[in-house]
Amino acid sequence: MISREPTIERLATAQQLLLTPFGLDETHLAKALAEIKAHRVDDADLYFQYTRSEGWSLEEGIVKTGSFSIDQGVGVRAVSGEKTAFAYSDDISEASLLDAARTVRAISAAGGAGRAKAATKKIASSRSLYPGIDPISTLDSTAKVKLLEKVEKLARGRDPRIAQVMAGLASEYDVVLVARADGTLAADVRPLVRLSVTVIAEQNGRREIGSGGGGGRFGLAYFGDEQIAEYVDHAVSSALTNLESRPAPAGEMTVVLGPGWPGILLHEAIGHGLEGDFNRKGSSAFSGRIGQRVAAKGVTVLDDGTIADRRGSLNVDDEGNASQRNVLIEDGILKGYIQDALNARLMKVKPTGNGRRESYAHVPMPRMTNTYMLGGDKHPDEIVASIKKGLYATNFGGGQVDITSGKFVFSASEAYWVENGKIQYPVKGATIVGNGPDALTRVTMIGNDMALDSGVGTCGKEGQSVPVGVGQPTLRIDGLTVGGTA
C-alpha cells in the first residue's frame, strides 16, 4: 500500500466527501469563484464542511441519552474593502454554488477581474498535528456505555458523600474544504473528543459540585483507566473541598492563580483584546500599542495553533492558512495581534492562521487557538508562601469581559484563603474583578509550572463557538479586587 503525503490525503478525503457525491469537481469551484470575481472584490472563498457528531450522557446511574447527527453544506463569501457578503446552503450542488456566487458578488460593482482569467491552482501548505481519523468509530456503542458506567462507579467509590454523578462523552468528525479566489485549495480532517464528569457531594444537608474532564484531537482510546481516574479524582476532590469552604473575604488583595485552566482569565481578559478586528476598529484597550510595554517584565503570551493533538489546534485555519505559533506579548512588550485574512489585509500585515468560524453557515473572524503564558523561574510553593493575606484560586467557572475597557469579572469555583504563606481554608463565592491590561502590569511572580488545560475549552464570540485551549503557570498578581460573600 502506498500512502500519500498528509496534505494531499486530507484534500482527497474532503473531495470524496464534499464534491464527488454531488457531481462536483475543482472546475465547478473555479466557475463559482469566477462568477464572484466578475465584480470588483478584494477576496472570495468557498467553504465546504461535513460534520458527523455523537454524544452520550449518564445520569442517576444509567446512560439516559444518546445522540447522533450529520450536517453538511457550503458557505460562499465575497469581500470588498471592509464589507462582507455571505450566503450559505445545506444543498451542495452546482446550482446552489452559482446562485450563492451571484448573490454575494452584488456587494461590489461589475467590471472586476473578469471571467476569462482563471487563477492558478495551488495547494495550501498545512501541518500534520493530529490523525485524520473518525473518532466516533474508534469505540463501539457498547464500549462507550461501559466507559460512562465506569466513570460513575469510580466516582461513587471514591467517597460515600458523592450523592450524584453525571458524565458525558462527545465525539466529532469534521472535514472541511476551502477554495479561495487566488486558486488556493486547502482541506482539513479534524477529530475531536471530550469526556466530562460532574459530581455532587452532600454532607449535613449541604451540597457542592465538582467537575473534571478533558479531550483533544484523537480517538476515544485516549480515555483509558488512568485518564478516567484522573478526571474523576479531580471532580471528587473539588466537590469535597467545596463542602468545607467558608465565605470568601472581599477587598483589594494579592491573588495567586494556579496553573492550567485558570488561563481562561488570560484568554478572556487579554486574548480577546488582541484579536485583529477589535484593534483595527480601535475598540480594544490594546489598540495602537504595538511596541509598547503592556505587561510586567517576564510576561510572554502566545497563541499557538500548532501544538499536536490539542483541542484548539488546526492544521489549517478556516480560510486555508496554516496555523502558526504567534508571540503576542514578549517580556511585557506587545508584539502583534491575532489576524484573519480580512483584518490582516486592511491592517497591511500577514494573516496569522487565526481565521476561524463555527461552521459553513458562519463568516470567519480572528479567533484564538491555544492561548497561554510562558513559565518563569519561581517554584509554585514559593509563590503561595509569599502571600501575606490573599486568595489562591485554582479553578474558575464563568466570567465576563468588556473588550473596550478591558474590565473583567470571573468567579472562582475552587479557591483558598492564605495567610502568612499558609493555606488556611477553602472559600466559596469569590469573584475576581480587574482590568486586563492593568492586571498584566501587576504580575510580580511567575511560576515554573506552565501547564495547558485538559482540553475542555469552548470560546464564544459574536454568537459563534469554537474549541480552544488555554494555559499558564502559577501567577502572583498584586492589587486585584476580590468580591466575596463575607
pLDDT tier at 385 (50, 70, 90 boundaries)? very high
Confidence band for 108, pLDDT divided at 50, 70 and 90: confident
The reported pLDDT for the residue numbered 80 is 95
**Residue 111 region, left (φ>0) first, then alpha (ψ -120 to 50), else beta?**
left
DSSP one-letter string for 383-407: HHHT-SEEEEEEEEEEEEE-TTT-E
* pLDDT score at 1: 44
User: What whole-number distance in Å separates Cα of residue 96 and Cα of residue 105?
Assistant: 14
pLDDT at 116: 43
pLDDT tens-digit profile of 165-217? Answer: 999 999 999 999 999 999 999 999 999 999 999 999 999 999 999 999 999 99
In 3-state terms, what secondary structure has residue 326? strand
**451-452 and 431-435 beta bridge pairing:** unpaired
Whether the pLDDT of residue 4 is over 80: the answer is no
Distance of CA 434 to the CA centre of its chain: 23
Across the chain, what does the average pLDDT equal?
A: 94
- Alpha-carbon gap, residue 381 to 378, rounded angstroms: 8
What phi and psi values does residue 427 have, to the nearest 5 degrees?
Answer: -125, 155
pLDDT class for 255, splitting at 50, 70, 90? very high
Percent of the chain topping pLDDT 90: 88
pLDDT at 87: 97
Sign of CA pseudo-dihedral 410, 415, 420, 421: negative
Kindly list the distances between the CA atom of residue 43 and the CA atoms of 55, 81, 94, 344, in Å, as whole numbers in the listed order.
37, 9, 21, 12
| Over residues 2-8, mean pLDDT | 77
CA angle 201-422-267, nearest 5°?
65
What pLDDT does 5 receive? 86
String of DSSP letters for 229-288: HHHHHHHHHHHHHHHT-EEPP-EEEEEEEPSSTTHHHHIIIIIGGGBHHHHHTT-STTTT
Tell me the C-alpha to C-alpha distance, in Å, between residue 453 and each of 263, 346, 450, 472, 473.
8, 34, 10, 9, 11
Question: How is residue 91 written as a grid cell?
Answer: 444543498
Band the pLDDT of 117: cuts 50, 70, 90.
low
Q: Which residues of 187-208 are buried (b: 16+ CB within 10 A; e: fewer)?
A: bbbbbbbbbbbbbbbeeeeeeb
Q: How confident is the model at residue 220 (pLDDT cuts 50, 70, 90)?
A: very high
Cα angle 254, 287, 312 (rounded to 5 degrees) comes to 70
413 or 2, which is more confident: 413
Section 256-264 average pLDDT: 95
Average pLDDT for 267-282: 93
Q: Per-residue confidence at 95, pLDDT binned at 50, 70, 90?
A: very high
Q: In the predicted model, what is the mean pLDDT of residues 45-70?
A: 96
Locate 114 and state its grid cell. Answer: 473578469
Report residue 111's pLDDT band, with 50, 70 and 90 as the boundaries.
low
As given in the structure block, the three cell numbers for residue 270 are: 487579554
pLDDT tens for 299-321 read: 999 999 999 999 999 999 999 99
**Residue 119: what pLDDT?**
78
CA contacts within 13 A on the Cβ side of 100: 29
- Res. 3: pLDDT tops 80: no
Q: Which of 308, 148, 157 is nearest to 228 (CA)?
A: 148
Count of beta carbons in the 10 Å neighbourhood of residue 403: 20
CB 87, CB 64: distance < 8 Å: no
| Alpha-carbon dihedral angle through residues 399, 404, 405, 409, given to the nearest 10 degrees | 0
Q: Is the pLDDT of residue 118 over 70?
A: no
Residue 23, classified by CB atoms within 10 Å of its CB into exposed (0-12), middle (13-18) or buried (19+), is exposed
pLDDT at 477: 96
In whole angstroms, give the CA distance from residue 441 to residue 391. Answer: 18
Mean pLDDT, range 320-343, rounded to an integer:
97
Query: What pLDDT does residue 274 have?
Result: 96
pTM of the entire predicted model: 0.95
Longest CA span, the chain: 78
DSSP, residue by residue, 438-464 = HHHHTEEEEBS--EE--S--EEEETTE
pLDDT at 382 over 70: yes
